């Protein structure tokens, strides 16, 4: 049930039964020597859409552009500033809330998006909280990245261990091999470039610009052995992620 392929009366009808919606979010950024530029949004989109189809959940159009400033030294990258992505998310939350949705589930495919997504959601809630907000219908948002889905997470760890890395991971490459089998052939990929341990340990805590990033990670991958990806693994990851997402979405909608 892709929102863009529904009519407005059909949405009105859905809202009488259910007020939840899935919103896939990703990025448009370099994915090393052979990953797809759209990997992050293609993964989130595929999981959300299949979940929507199988479980009758409305899925909003994918947010294809994310916060990717540190990848800008590689062509094909397009970034939104953090403030722009946050504003966009604010408006989407405000629109959905204004038209009757009450449980907004953002399924994310790019780690760099998490902070701006959270800021955008909370900018909406901050306005309500500063205005008092009591008496308004409760509007809740949940934000998860697909690799947090428990069964999918377990599988990627068992398949790739430390070689999963942090960017251009074999699991996300595998997912795009499943969703776009004609685009990503099982071609020879180079092993990851070895980088210092310090870079690895603090990858999530350190912040720098695109020139710094490219100097550290010259082929664009962050210690991920993307060559380990297979289409079969991608199909399994997709199946497990959809199951997990469906269960988590239901729990989210049921909770007070």
User: DSSP H helical segments within 18-169, as ranges?
Assistant: 39-55, 82-98, 114-130, 150-160
> For residues 194 and 207, which CB has a smaller minimum distance to a second copy in the complex?
207
> For residues 134 and 158, which CB has a smaller minimum distance to a second copy in the complex?
134
Smallest separation (angstroms) from a second copy to the CB of 59: 11
Structural tokens at position 112? 């760099």
> For residues 135 and 158, which CB has a smaller minimum distance to a second copy in the complex?
135
144: left (phi over 0), alpha (psi -120 to 50) or beta: beta
Smallest separation (angstroms) from a second copy to the CB of 77: 6
Smallest separation (angstroms) from a second copy to the CB of 8: 4
CB 165 within 8 Å of CB 225:
yes
The whole-angstrom separation of Cα 82 and Cα 79 is: 9
> For residues 42 and 233, which CB has a smaller minimum distance to a second copy in the complex?
42
Burial of 32 (0-12, 13-18, 19+ CB in 10 A): buried
What values do phi and psi take at 68, rounded to 5?
-130, 35
> For residues 11 and 227, which CB has a smaller minimum distance to a second copy in the complex?
11
Smallest separation (angstroms) from a second copy to the CB of 229: 14
Smallest separation (angstroms) from a second copy to the CB of 127: 8
């Amino acid at each position: 049930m892709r929102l863009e392929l529904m009519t407005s009366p059909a949405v009105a009808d859905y809202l009488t039964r259910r007020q939840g919606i899935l919103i896939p979010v990703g990025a448009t950024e370099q994915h090393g020597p052979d990953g797809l530029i759209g990997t992050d949004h293609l993964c989130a989109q595929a999981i959300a859409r299949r979940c929507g189809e199988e479980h009758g959940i409305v899925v909003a159009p994918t947010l294809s552009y994310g916060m990717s400033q540190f990848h800008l030294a590689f062509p094909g990258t397009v970034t939104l500033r953090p403030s722009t992505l946050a504003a966009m998310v604010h408006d989407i939350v405000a629109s959905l809330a204004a038209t009757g949705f009450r449980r907004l589930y953002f399924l994310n495919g790019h780690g760099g998006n998490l902070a701006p997504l959270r800021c955008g959601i909370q900018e909406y809630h901050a306005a309500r909280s500063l205005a008092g907000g009591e008496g308004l219908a409760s509007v809740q948002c949940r934000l998860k990245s697909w690799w947090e889905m428990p069964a999918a997470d377990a599988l990627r760890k068992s398949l790739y261990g430390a070689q999963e890395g942090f960017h251009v991971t074999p699991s996300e490459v595998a997912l795009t091999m499943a969703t776009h089998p004609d685009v990503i052939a099982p071609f020879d990929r180079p092993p990851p470039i070895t980088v210092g341990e310090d870079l690895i340990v603090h990858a999530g805590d350190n912040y720098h610009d695109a020139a710094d990033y490219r100097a550290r990670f010259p082929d664009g991958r962050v210690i991920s052995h993307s060559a380990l990806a297979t289409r079969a693994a991608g199909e399994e990851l997709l199946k497990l992620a959809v199951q997990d997402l469906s269960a988590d979405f239901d729990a989210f909608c049921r909770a007070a």
